[in-house]
Amino acid sequence: MSDYIKLFKKIGKTAKTTLEDLPDGAQITGKNPIGQKSIKADIALEKLVADFLREKTGGTLITEEAGKIDLGKGEDVFVLDPLDGSSNYSRGVPYYGLIIARSAGFTYNDITHAYVINLASGTEYFADEEGAFSGGKPLVPSPVTSLKDSVIEIDTFKNPRIYDTLRPLLKSVKDIRRIGASGVALAHVASGAHQIYLNPHNPISVVHAPGIYVAEKAGALFTDCRGNFINPKLDISVKIEFMVAANKEIQRQALSLMGVKTESEVA
Average pLDDT value for residue range 111-119? 99
More confident residue, 25 or 34: 25
User: Strands 60-63, 77-84: parallel, antiparallel or unpaired by DSSP?
Assistant: parallel
User: CA 197, 98, 170: angle at the middle one, nearest 5?
Assistant: 15
User: What pLDDT is attached to residue 263?
Assistant: 58
What is the reported pLDDT for 266? 41
Number of domains in the chain: 2
Asked whether residue 12 falls in the same domain as residue 52, the answer is yes
Domain enclosing residue 257, as ranges = 147-261
Instruction: Give residue 32's pLDDT band: very low, low, confident or very high (50, 70, 90).
Output: confident
Stretch 109-129: mean pLDDT = 98
Rounded Cα distance, 44 and 36, in Å: 16
182 with 109, same domain: the answer is no
Indicate if the pLDDT at residue 83 is higher than 60: yes
Tell me the pLDDT of the chain averaged across its residues: 94
Q: Residue 136 domain-assigned?
A: no
Tens-digit pLDDT profile for residues 55-69: 999 999 999 888 999
Choosing from 106, 131, 156, the residue where a domain stops is 131
Q: Are the CB atoms for 187 and 116 separated by under 8 Å?
A: yes
Shared domain for 151 and 178, answered yes or no, is yes
- Same domain membership, residue 189 and residue 81: no
Banded model confidence at residue 156, pLDDT cuts 50, 70, 90: confident
CB atoms within 10 A of CB 224: 16
Residue 72, domain CATH: 3.30.540.10
Mean pLDDT computed over 212-235: 97
Write down the pLDDT at residue 262. 64
**Is residue 137 in a domain?**
no
Q: Are residues 168 and 232 in the same domain?
A: yes
Whole-number pLDDT of residue 64: 86
Does residue 117 fall inside a structural domain? yes
Kindly state whether residue 35 falls inside one of the protein's structural domains: yes
Instruction: From 131, 156, 172, give the residue that closes a domain.
Output: 131
Same domain membership, residue 122 and residue 27 = yes
Residues 93 and 168 in one domain: no
Average pLDDT of 71-99? 96
In a shared domain, residues 153 and 246: yes
Q: Are 265 and 238 spatial neighbours (Cβ–Cβ below 8 Å)? A: no
Q: At what angle do helices 3-21 and 40-56 cross, to 10 degrees?
A: 150
- Is there a single domain that holds both residue 89 and residue 156? no
Q: What CATH number is associated with residue 249?
A: 3.40.190.80
Tell me if 139 is assigned to some domain: no
167 in the same domain as 120: no
Q: Does 84 lie in the same domain as 169?
A: no
| ∠ Cα 179 100 77 (to 5°) | 145
Is the residue at 119 inside a domain?
yes
Domain end among 131, 160, 191:
131
| 89 belongs to a structural domain | yes
Question: Given a cut of 80, is residue 159 above it in pLDDT?
Answer: no
What pLDDT is attached to residue 239?
95
pLDDT tens digits for range 232-262 = 999 999 999 999 999 999 999 999 999 987 6
DSSP per-residue string spanning the chain: --HHHHHHHHHHHHHHHHHHH-TTTT-EEEE-TTSPEEEHHHHHHHHHHHHHHHHHT-SEEEETTTEEEE-SS---EEEEEEEETHHHHHHT-S--EEEEEEESSSBGGGEEEEEEEETTT--EEEEETTEEEETTEE--------GGG-EEEE---S-HHHHHHHHHHHTTSSEEE--S-HHHHHHHHHHTS-SEEE-TT--EEGGGHHHHHHHHHHT-EEE-TTS-----B--TT-EE--EEESSHHHHHHHHHHTTPPPHHHH-
Residues facing 98 on adjacent strands: 117
For 184-213, write each residue's pLDDT tens digit: 999 999 999 999 999 988 889 999 999 999
Is 95 inside a domain boundary? yes
> For residue 155, what pLDDT is reported?
83
Q: Do 182 and 70 fall within a single domain? A: no
